[in-house]
Copies of this chain bind each other. A is one copy, B any other.
Amino acid sequence: MSPVKILILGGDGYLGWPTAMHFSSLGHHVVVADNFLRRGIAIELGAGSLTPIRSLQERIGAWHDVSDREIRAHIGDLTDPGFVDHIVAETSPDAIVHYGEQPSAPYSMIDRKHAIQTQRNNVEGTLNVMFAMRDLAPEAHLVKLGTMGEYGTPNIDIEEGFIEIDHNGRTDTLPFPKLPGSMYHLSKVHDSHNIHFGCRIWGLRATDLNQGVVYGIRTPETDLDERLCTRFDYDEVLGTALNRFCVQAVVGYPLTVYGKGGQTRGFLNIIDTIQCVRLAVENPPDRGEYRVFNQFTEQWSVRDLAERVQRVGADMGINVAVEKVADPRIEAEEHYYNAAHTKLLELGLRPHLLTDDIVAHLIETIQRYKDRILLAPIAPKTRWDPR
């Protein structure tokens, strides 16, 4: 693909920063924007990244040292319409990769303030991006990070965004019904409806990536220099399941399986996240098209995931306990789950599945930073119903 201009919103985050480096390494013109919301949340929670992440400015300098490539940065907030217009007008992007949202379900469930802050931040930020695209970059392709959690756990197969429904002798293909499980997941459902509308009414083009749970810590670009590492959260609010389990294994903290552990979700390696986003950017939809890809490579139950970590730990000489704790969330702990995920494979995705080697490799990487692990933020505290 010949070089294009890519604006990455949330380009300082866990996924945003490695994505920025990856597109830059391919020769694309990369501009990132961030308001450091996720760094701020870590401070608020007394948590922190396992990895010693550098400031965005240092990262960009280190990337230039290593690659001789430039990444430009804008610091600002997507809920500020003037900021969004400014970065879109100045970048004139071919693609906008939008990670710039509050990413944590537990964070959104702390209390009313956090719930409203999450919905406002995510929904209004995305609306600002849509209006900026309409008025300043109507040909640009919005690649928006959504979540598989928008669907919840229905008792039928989950399709990719839309489902053909036969009803009383008539047929239509309609948005797949949504059963989101937190105020955060709701914000993503709201985004999806808003973006779909923007495509229908204003002819925007968008890919909504309903992503599964991401794990992993290393990409080809982060491996080039320690200053390029991405953040890695393992606390109960910002950490995702496998990342948390591997950290817990390393420090001898029992793996915290919530309830029965039958909660099944789609998972993918951080390397595949970046691969999927690249495939979306390289294969844009038509004007007016709202396209949904389910972005994960395999399904795991939380229980099976914990058992896998336990077994790999044993092979490595680590004694890992699994502890079933009361589920702080309100969710089905055993349920049917079967979600389609063929569209990205059709575009050429080559999955990196969760082998024992991958788990061992993740544990080894975490061991390198063992001294940095904080124990206090690991235990589940945020309850879906605090009463």
Contacts and interface: CB of A to CB of B under 8 A. Distances in A.
A154 B127 contact: no
Given A155-B170, A193-B178, A124 B120 contact: yes
Interface string A173-199: 011111111110010011001101100
- Copy tally for this chain in the complex stands at 2
A157 B163 contact: no
Contact of A124 (B119, B175, B189): B119
Contacts of A172: 154-156
Given A115-B127, A201-B330, A156 B177 contact: no
A215 interface: no
A168 B193 contact: no
A148 to B, nearest CB: 16
Nearest to A174: B177
Nearest to A172: B155
Given A179-B175, A180-B197, A193-B186, A157 B128 contact: no
A200 interface: yes
Interface residues of A, number: 51
A382 to B, nearest CB: 13
Contacts of A168: 156-157
Contacts of A368: none
Interface in A335-387: 336, 384-385, 387
B135 A387 contact: yes
B112 A119 contact: no
A127 B116 contact: yes
Contacts of A300: none
Given A112-B128, A165-B156, A167-B163, A175 B174 contact: no
Interface in A67-84: 81
A2 interface: no
Interface string A75-113: 000000100000000000000000000000000000011
A86 to B, nearest CB: 14
Contact of A202 (B127, B174, B182, B385): B385
A330 B180 CA distance: 29
A336 B181 CA distance: 33
A134 interface: yes
A181 B198 CA distance: 10
Contacts of A330: 200-201
A170 to B, nearest CB: 5
B155 A171 contact: yes
Nearest to A200: B330
Rank and list the top 10 A-B pairs by shortest CB-CB distance, nearest first. A174-B177, A155-B172, A112-B131, A156-B167, A190-B190, A175-B177, A156-B170, A156-B172, A201-B330, A157-B168
Given A174-B179, A179-B196, A202-B385, 7 more contacts: A112-B131, A134-B387, A175-B179, A186-B193, A186-B194, A189-B190, A201-B384
10 contacts: A120-B120, A156-B167, A157-B167, A165-B177, A166-B166, A183-B197, A189-B190, A190-B193, A201-B385, A202-B385
